[in-house]
Structure 1
Amino acid sequence: MSRFRGLLQASLNATKKALTWNVEDLVPPTERYIFNFNSKDELKKWHLYSDSEYGGLSSASLEIPDTGNGPNGIFSGNLSLDFIEGSKLKINRSGFCGMRSKKFDGFIDLDPYDTVALKVRGDGRCYISTIPLARYLPTWRGNVIDAEMEMNPSRVVGMSLSVNAEGGLPGARVGPGDFKLEIDWIKALRTQ
């Protein structure tokens, strides 16, 4: 009989737990880490690209220093406006590098949030990653695509950061040469 009471009590406790809910379960937190550059495993979540895939000479790397203090992730490299002579692939311009997240397991739901924040330290160059989710724009090879595409924030499949040697905001460092962006984290925020 005590075994039956034990099973009945366990069943009642499980049912009670399933039927009770907490407000925190319904309202997501005001911030959510998307990427936290605090371990070498984080590097596996990213794919680097550059104009070198198309015959250019730019290069990029993403590292997490072993020092344990200072910046967590470092996206760096060299932007070149030159091309490989005789390349089979033809591109109109060179001088771009980027880091693109590998696809999430399915997608990430950012619908409860209105902003993506990045804790970074730059080098004076203009890096591309539009911040307010309502204003996210599609980009290709470091340039905004002039397309009427609407992003669905509840089904985000990836993110990227890019830099190019030409263009950017007035006063930003431009031209070929080295670049370096220190990255601590990328979060989704609810500011309203």
Structure 2
Amino acid sequence: MSRIRALWNASINATKRALTWNLEELMPPQEMCVFSFSSKEDLKRWHLYSDSEYGGLSSASLEVKDAENGLNGLTFLTPLNYIYSEGIFSGNLSSEVSDGSRWRMNRSGFCGMRSKKFDGFIDLDPYDTLAFKLKGDGRCYISTIYTENWINAPGQLEDNTWQAFVVLPRGNWYIAKIPLASYLPTWRGNIVDARLEMNPSRVVGMSLSVNAEGGVPGTKSGPGDFKLEIDWIKALRSG
């Protein structure tokens, strides 16, 4: 009897281990790289936009730059020193409008970089946070997530838009983490006053943008140059 019981217990324990292994295989990784900015090929996944499309005078560029990871400009033959690449989103914000513009602009002074349409969707449903490794200039930037249009607001044919502010220290690399629950639904820059829920399994694009005015109090604002260095964007799962 004791031998049968031992075999029974061994069988149960083996089944439990198998189930545990299967569950671990089914679980998504703790993090997923959504975008990297280490090559010109990476930058081809993005396009720029600004108020210049509507008669404004702002301008923007997106390029990749090699940078050496050293200590105070000194060179050491250690693993700490290597050449890596980063994306640089930079330009100039202007509040002026060109003479003879055929557009009736409510405001100017904005630039952005938006990912091109995906071949399908990015599924962020297993994750709860977006993380950005960035080096800022003191300005407040805006992170936007575009999801498939399933809200069906009257007259709305564009993707659904969800936005959150990105605030980071000036001049140092920083990992900004924004919970997906912090993104608010917006319509043409204005918060939608309704109880809506993002569908993170149907993400069709993302963007980073900057405005000359507005943003978080205490951050740099107004016309002038801007510069945001970008290493990567990742999705994180805290659970």
TM tier, shorter chain?
Answer: 0.7 to 0.9
Q: After TM superposition, what 4+ stretches of structure 1 lie above 6 angstroms from structure 2? A: none
Q: Secondary structure at the match of 2:52?
A: helix
Among the aligned pairs, what percent are the same residue?
A: 73
Change (3 A) 1:166 1:70: farther
Structure 2 CA distance for aligned equivalents of residues 128 and 92 of structure 1:
19
CA-to-aligned-CA distance 1:54-79 (integer Å, 9 cap, x gap):
11000111110144646610000000
Change (3 A) 1:100 1:71: same
The aligned counterpart of 1:120 is 134
The aligned counterpart of 1:79 is 93
Structure 1 gaps, min length 5: 1-20
Structure 2 CA distance for aligned equivalents of residues 105 and 22 of structure 1:
30
**Does the 8 A contact of 1:56 with 1:80 survive in 2?**
yes
**Does the 8 A contact of 2:56 with 2:97 survive in 1?**
yes
The aligned counterpart of 1:32 is 32
RMSD (CA atoms): 1.9
Structure 2 gaps, min length 5: 1-20, 69-82, 144-163, 165-177
| Alignment size in residue pairs | 171
Structure 2 CA distance for aligned equivalents of residues 74 and 54 of structure 1:
24
Cα offset, 1:135, TM superposition:
2.3
Structure 2 CA distance for aligned equivalents of residues 158 and 90 of structure 1:
28
Structure 2 CA distance for aligned equivalents of residues 89 and 50 of structure 1:
14
Change (3 A) 1:70 1:173: farther
More strand by share: 2
What does 1:35-50 align with in structure 2 at a 5 Å threshold?
35-50=35-50
Change (3 A) 1:140 1:181: farther
Structure 1 CA distance for aligned equivalents of residues 193 and 116 of structure 2:
23
Instruction: Give the TM-score normalised by structure 1.
Output: 0.82
Paired AA for residue 133 in structure 2? K
Paired AA for residue 25 in structure 1? E
Paired AA for residue 48 in structure 1? L
Structure 1 CA distance for aligned equivalents of residues 116 and 190 of structure 2:
20
Cα offset, 1:110, TM superposition:
0.3
Structure 2 CA distance for aligned equivalents of residues 189 and 85 of structure 1:
47
Instruction: Give the TM-score normalised by structure 2.
Output: 0.67
